[in-house]
Amino acid sequence: MTGSVLVNPRKLGLTGFVREAARARRVGPGPETVFRLLRPFHGPELDAIYRRVVSDRQGREILRAGRSLQPTLLDLERLRSLPEGTLGHAYAHFMDRNGIDIVSFAEASLRHMSRDDYANDEAWTLVNRARDIHELVHVVAGYGTDELGEMCELAFFAPEDPRPAATRLAIRVNLAAFRRRGYRHGEEEIARAFARGAATVSLIAADWEAMMDWPLDRVRTQLRIDAPRPYEPIPPTGEAPTFADLARAAFIRCPSA
């Protein structure tokens, strides 16, 4: 198609960002905070991701069919029944262990985005699918839900991130918070996550529904993901980064650069 697939960028702006950052300090982290702050709407980046997915035969078929991952991901009873070591079993265990509810996550995002923001149904399917694979990416990449694991997941997913500038800012802000708390190993792990993600095929175009029954090693081979290695988690504090962290982030180089 000609033109952008994004028709309403919903730019937050500096004033809006400061306002939302102040709100995040009051209410703490969570899906609502994430989507209010990051607002995944950036035209050039989203258009490039759209072109990447539609250039893939499988990805093009997924978008044209308007396939949602939620029916598959919500059937945790079936996924729990799959053999240990399969993607589906590992995903269900990950969700159970971390108490994650993808419905609440999706509802939080939908309060800040709408079908009317996009030029066609395929782009709308793409952004919803990109959101819904978040925990699947955690599982196949081997990152936990600790604060460093979340930043590594963002870095790993960078090739298909529709808001890379906001993501890089979030990583730098969190690195500032890590340093303040005495953790100095985050940069190395995040840099490796960027490198690992750059080597993968399109994750949005992947047929996750079909791969649920596959052994994890086979899934990683299919997606060109190298085996995870252990890393030292950084535990969450339940607090948003401080304004001092925001200021210090301006002087921190993103590990991907």
Q: State pLDDT tens for residues 24-56.
A: 667 666 666 666 566 555 667 899 999 999 999
What pLDDT sits at residue 114?
85
Nearest to 100 by CA among 74, 82, 67: 74
Can you list the positions of beta strands (E) in 38-141?
Answer: none
Rounded-to-integer distance, Cα 143 and Cα 229, Å: 9
Nearest to 165 by CA among 249, 95, 104, 108: 249
Contacts of 237 (CB under 8 A, 6+ apart): 147, 181
* 156 SS3 class: helix
Rounded-to-integer distance, Cα 255 and Cα 257, Å: 6
Rounded-to-integer distance, Cα 53 and Cα 78, Å: 29
Tokens of 38: 């990051």
Nearest to 64 by CA among 205, 183, 225: 205
β-bridge partners, 229: none
CB-CB contact of 47 with 5 (8 Å): yes
CB-CB contact of 41 with 165 (8 Å): no
What pLDDT sits at residue 257?
56
What pLDDT sits at residue 45?
86
* 141 SS3 class: helix
Q: Which residues of the chain register pLDDT less than 70?
A: 1-2, 10-25, 27-43, 108-109, 257
What pLDDT sits at residue 178?
95
What pLDDT sits at residue 125?
96
What pLDDT sits at residue 21?
66
Number of Cβ within 10 Å of residue 37's Cβ equals 20
Query: For 29, phi and psi rounded to 5 degrees?
Result: -75, 160
C-alpha dist (Å) from residue 39 to 64, 120, 167, 224, 244 = 25, 19, 10, 29, 22
DSSP 8-state class, residue 83: P
What pLDDT sits at residue 217?
97
Torsion of CA 105, 113, 137, 175, to 10 degrees: -90
What pLDDT sits at residue 202?
97
